[in-house]
């Protein structure tokens, strides 16, 4: 008696799950889906382009961004951003110079500081946003956002205002589809991270600072004498193993000891662009017991060993796979998919591209239930609206302002866990009203996006540049199946002047 019932239940189960997932996606829906997930949504003509190319080929080309040329206009624009192209040392030099002068108080110096710091901040933002909107290497841009956030540093903390541009360009961008150990090592040694999580100050507990030896020039660091656990903890909790990765307080302290001496010196960074320095004198030379390993003293090698172990740990494979699947597939990603990704991660020794390949080619990724299942973060919402609208943008400030308003300022996540990407984090009553406000201003051409850069020192007082309003029909064309028939019907029942705003402010456009 028992068996048939179970069999019947099983059959019922598979029928209902089939009904939920088996409706095959049309080629337009598939094209839209990969544009929404591997990138920041379609620009005009993108859905056709992907459909003609084939979804598989599109995914493969995105996994190899070096095979996709950057448009000349984008390259030219990026090349003019001298502050964002300068070395970490050059930018820091400029930043420290105005900071020092401005502390002495005179108004002109303060103005100069605002100008210099403003230029640094704006160019970093412009480089990021111009690429996100215009780069055909969309997956690369999405992965920059993902990994920057995973290894978040907060631009509002001291020197990081000046270092964050180099951090993204030098420690994140080159590795986003490469080997995780390389990415981990690059972030661990970048001054932005060393500064943000205080490791540059951490020393052996018995360290005695040298008597006056360049002491004054090193500022804060010269006085530092003791262990700081901040980075070691977040390295395990956030960057690699995950909070349930099976380590103890003792492991945190031991790892912090292993990483003592991983530092940088602002003066050397300014002079020679030397971004990392292992300072053997600050290093704790005792033996350590960490994560079940006995670690004999060997200087910088201890930290390198720790990164090797952490990068290849099964807990790291699971943690990273979960985070990737949550970002690209579902807020609660299917456990089997996460397992397969983690397995691939370990097989390929942490090859990010191969893990993504498994994910993008999985049935879970292309399931009908996955389409539209992610609520856009404010960043994704703003960038996708700019892409769909396809208006010329020379001034990114209004977009930055929108991200602030929506609770996700660029480079503005204060805590090392970065921003969440789930619906629970971002969907709230206030958020919808604010997104609609942004959509309405954008659609009406009321945002001064077309102003020559640098001419709007005071955005509030400056006259608003007239821009043509967006055309609702073009938007609907561009977005294809993203906007449902029901929503289209409601839009067409409303005055023509409101329709473009209604497209970008619709429930359909809130999700991807």
Interface residues toward another protein, by CB under 8 A: 197-198, 201-203, 205, 207, 220, 223-230, 233, 237, 243, 249, 252, 405-407, 414-415, 417, 424-434, 436-437, 440-441, 486-487, 490-491, 493-495, 498, 501-502, 505-507, 510-511
Nearer to another protein by C-beta: 133 or 188? 188
Nearest to 397 by CA among 323, 320, 452: 452
Nearest to 386 by CA among 329, 337, 443: 443
Contacting residues for 280 by C-beta, under 8 A, at least 6 apart:
261, 299, 300
CB of 64 to another protein, least distance (A): 35
Spatial distance between the Cα atoms of 78 and 462, rounded to a whole number of angstroms: 26
Nearer to another protein by C-beta: 207 or 328? 207
CB of 41 to another protein, least distance (A): 18
CB of 238 to another protein, least distance (A): 8
Spatial distance between the Cα atoms of 441 and 469, rounded to a whole number of angstroms: 9
Nearer to another protein by C-beta: 6 or 486? 486
Beta-strand pair 293-295/288-290: antiparallel
- The β-bridge partners of 277 are 263
CB of 407 to another protein, least distance (A): 3
CB of 204 to another protein, least distance (A): 9
Nearer to another protein by C-beta: 60 or 423? 423
CB of 415 to another protein, least distance (A): 7
Nearer to another protein by C-beta: 241 or 366? 241
Nearer to another protein by C-beta: 1 or 424? 424
Spatial distance between the Cα atoms of 324 and 331, rounded to a whole number of angstroms: 10
DSSP element (H, E) containing 477? helix 472-479
Asked if 302 contacts 288 with a C-beta cutoff of 8 angstroms, the reply is yes
Nearest to 327 by CA among 37, 99, 133, 121: 37
Nearer to another protein by C-beta: 64 or 486? 486
CB of 505 to another protein, least distance (A): 6
Contacting residues for 471 by C-beta, under 8 A, at least 6 apart:
500
Beta-strand pair 262-263/277-278: antiparallel
CB of 226 to another protein, least distance (A): 1
Nearest to 34 by CA among 500, 493, 482: 482
Nearer to another protein by C-beta: 123 or 370? 370
What's the 3-state SS for 220-253? HHHHCCCCCCHHHHHHHHHHCCCCCCCCCHHHHH
What's the 3-state SS for 54-100? CHHHHHHHHHCHHHCCCCHHHHHHHHCCHHHHCCHHHHHHHHHHHHH
Asked if 217 contacts 267 with a C-beta cutoff of 8 angstroms, the reply is yes
Residue 169 gets which letter from DSSP? I
- The β-bridge partners of 262 are 278
CB of 237 to another protein, least distance (A): 5
Nearer to another protein by C-beta: 141 or 284? 284
Nearer to another protein by C-beta: 204 or 356? 204
Nearer to another protein by C-beta: 257 or 340? 257
- The β-bridge partners of 295 are 288
CB of 65 to another protein, least distance (A): 32
CB of 510 to another protein, least distance (A): 7
3-state helix, strand, coil in the chain (%, to 5): 60, 5, 35
Nearer to another protein by C-beta: 70 or 441? 441
CB of 484 to another protein, least distance (A): 9
Contacting residues for 462 by C-beta, under 8 A, at least 6 apart:
448, 451, 455, 456
């Amino acid at each position: 008696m028992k068996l048939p019932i179970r069999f019947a239940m099983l059959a019922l189960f598979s029928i209902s799950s089939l009904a939920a997932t088996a409706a095959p996606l049309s080629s337009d829906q598939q094209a839209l889906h990969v544009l929404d997930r591997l990138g920041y949504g379609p620009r005009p003509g993108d859905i056709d382009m992907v459909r003609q190319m084939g979804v598989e080929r599109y995914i493969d080309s995105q996994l190899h961004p070096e095979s996709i040329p950057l448009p000349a206009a984008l390259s030219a624009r990026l090349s003019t951003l001298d502050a964002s192209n300068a070395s970490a040392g050059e930018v820091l030099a400029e930043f420290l110079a105005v900071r020092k002068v401005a502390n002495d108080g005179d108004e002109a110096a303060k103005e100069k500081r605002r100008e210099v710091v403003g230029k640094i901040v704006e160019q970093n933002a412009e480089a990021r946003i111009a690429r996100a909107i215009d780069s055909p290497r969309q997956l690369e841009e999405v992965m920059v956002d993902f990994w920057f956030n995973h290894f978040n540093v907060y631009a509002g903390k001291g020197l990081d205002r000046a270092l964050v541009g180099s951090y993204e360009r030098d420690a994140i961008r080159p590795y986003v589809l490469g080997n995780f150990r390389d990415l981990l090592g690059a972030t661990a040694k970048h001054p932005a991270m060393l500064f943000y999580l205080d490791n540059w100050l951490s020393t052996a507990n018995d360290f005695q600072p040298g008597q006056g030896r360049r002491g004054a020039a090193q500022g804060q660091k010269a006085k530092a004498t003791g262990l700081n656990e901040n980075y070691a903890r977040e390295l395990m909790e956030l960057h690699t193993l995950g909070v349930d990765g099976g380590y103890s307080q003792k492991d945190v302290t031991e790892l912090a000891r292993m990483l003592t001496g991983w530092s940088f010196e602002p003066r050397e960074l300014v002079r020679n662009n030397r971004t990392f320095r292992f300072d053997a004198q600050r290093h704790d030379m005792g033996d350590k017991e960490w994560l079940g390993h006995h670690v004999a003293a060997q200087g910088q090698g201890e930290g390198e060993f720790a990164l090797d172990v952490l990068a290849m740990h099964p807990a790291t494979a699971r943690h990273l796979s979960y985070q990737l699947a949550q970002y690209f597939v579902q807020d609660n990603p299917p456990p089997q998919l996460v397992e397969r990704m983690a397995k691939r991660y370990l097989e390929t020794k942490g090859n990010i591209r191969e893990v993504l390949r498994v994910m993008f080619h999985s049935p879970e990724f292309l399931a009908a239930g996955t389409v539209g299942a992610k609520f856009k973060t404010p960043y994704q919402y703003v960038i996708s609206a700019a892409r769909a609208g396809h208006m010329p943008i020379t001034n990114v400030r209004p977009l930055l302002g929108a991200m602030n308003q929506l609770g996700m300022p660029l480079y503005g996540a204060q805590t090392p866990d970065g921003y969440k990407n789930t619906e629970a984090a971002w969907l709230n009553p206030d958020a919808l009203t604010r997104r609609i406000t942004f959509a309405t201003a954008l659609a009406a051409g009321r945002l001064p996006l077309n102003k020559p850069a640098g001419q709007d020192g005071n955005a509030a007082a400056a006259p608003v540049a007239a821009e043509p309003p967006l055309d609702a029909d073009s938007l609907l064309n561009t977005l294809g199946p993203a906007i449902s028939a029901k929503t289209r019907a409601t839009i067409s029942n409303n005055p023509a002047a409101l329709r473009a705003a209604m497209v970008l402010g619709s429930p359909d456009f809130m999700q991807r």
